Amino acid sequence: MLRRSESVTGQHSFLSVFPFGSNLEMLWLDAQVQTHIGPDHMEMGAIGLRNVELDREMRISGDRWVAPIACECCPTSATVTAAGPVVVYRGRTDPPGTKPSEVNPNQATVRDIQISTLQDGKWTAPRVVHEDNWVVNACPDNGPAVDAKGRDVVVAWWTATLGHPAVYVAFSSDAGAHFGDPVRVDRAKGEGQVTVAWNPVSKDAVVGWLEDHQTLARVVSRDRETGPVLSLGPAPAHARLPRWVPLPSGTLAAWTGTEGEAKSVRFGYLHASRQKH
């Protein structure tokens, strides 16, 4: 039986949901602070990353901010490591001392990928996964993806530093506290909309992204070795990308594809022996 829960005030978008203990953790971008009109009739104030817990009785608790200031419209992604839940999102680096109510959404700021961990009921201060130093005064609607097994964490993301779009993957062996140098996986014109999955058997990660109107995929090992770029087929513009199911002999994928003008959900299997050079 479906039970209806109480609601939480504020604008909600880009929800990430995962089980943790006996509860369901929910994270989203929230515009509750964005409440007043500034110059040129623009909304002022920050979009933040917010979290609540939902128990079996559909009761809400633990209402807290992961970050009071975040990029305004990029999807979030979360998973659970041996050290607790982690969430990755596109942050924004405003001048020191900027209050959430003072944030100008149209201000050019660094929009690099950040990560936070839930420890003892509190989210840690956000850390940058890699300093791309991408400065932009708009939101690209292009968020990161994360997956984990034990203390192994993999993050994939898209960036466009100095106007050069690229898709990267980085690995951590300490539950996201530190990441190695990223590996670029696209062909040179990546459009992003990334997804990623960690295969606990092969210890590889498979990443998907959009490029040249195709849904592409590539396997990357934590020692930075990459397999060939594989095309899963034509993709509609700005499509959300594959959902992965790692298996011992490969990876099952489901994604949005196209056949002429028609869109459809397609399935495929990436066999492990064909994913590497």
**Structure confidence at residue 148 (pLDDT):** 95
Q: In what helix (H) or strand (E) does residue 228 lie, and over which residues does it extend?
A: none
Hey, which residues does 117 pair with through a beta bridge?
Answer: 86
**Structure confidence at residue 277 (pLDDT):** 38
Cα–Cα distance between 158 and 140 in angstroms, integer? 10
**Structure confidence at residue 41 (pLDDT):** 56
pLDDT in tens, the chain (277 residues): 345 555 566 666 889 999 999 999 999 999 877 655 555 556 778 889 999 999 988 898 888 999 999 998 899 999 999 999 999 999 999 888 888 888 888 889 999 999 999 999 899 999 999 999 999 988 789 999 999 999 999 999 999 998 999 999 999 999 999 999 999 999 999 999 999 999 877 788 999 999 998 999 999 998 999 999 999 988 887 777 888 988 877 888 998 888 777 888 888 888 765 554 3
Sole residue written with tokens 């192994």 = 152
Cα–Cα distance between 151 and 35 in angstroms, integer? 40
Say what the pTM is. 0.90
180, amino acid identity: G
Sole residue written with tokens 């917010």 = 50
CA distance to 4, 128, 155, 228, per residue, from 112 (Å): 36, 7, 13, 27
Residues 6+ apart with CB under 8 A from 26: 15, 16, 17, 51, 52, 53, 54
